[in-house]
Copies of this chain bind each other. A is one copy, B any other.
């Protein structure tokens, strides 16, 4: 029955195993990150966090996100090629990005995943991860 998958547990275990400390800042930042349900820019998360503890700076948020990446709790993405976005690790999904309003729709299609694997196998390529993004115009923006 053990083996909790609770993100906070995962983080705490990672910290302990690496001789790292449990600090108030990390707790706040991770808490806010996990609470959110969208793709977050560093600055956005920083703003959230500053509402709770204004003294926390960009760098600490940045480092905490790197930490979350390292223990597998977050993924970093680069869409429009501006700033990085971070999302909670979890079920896999790909993205449809509206080039007008920037909104992001997530999608998932097992048939596509399967075909990917087929294509990779053909040249003996071992897939580690992938990125599939569709750019275009969302239904809202099509009606001006």
Residues of A at the B interface (CB closer than 8 Å) are 78, 81, 96, 98-99, 105, 107, 109, 111-112, 115-116, 119-120, 123-139, 142
Give the CA-CA distance A133 to B77 in the complex, in Å. Answer: 13
Q: State whether B136 touches A126 (Cβ < 8 A).
A: yes
Q: State whether B133 touches A131 (Cβ < 8 A).
A: yes
Question: Could you name 30 residue pairs across A and B whose Cβ atoms are closer than 8 Å?
Answer: A78-B78, A78-B81, A96-B125, A99-B128, A105-B125, A107-B119, A109-B119, A111-B115, A112-B112, A112-B115, A112-B116, A112-B119, A115-B115, A119-B134, A120-B136, A124-B139, A125-B134, A125-B139, A126-B136, A126-B142, A127-B135, A127-B136, A128-B135, A128-B136, A129-B135, A130-B133, A130-B134, A131-B132, A131-B135, A132-B133
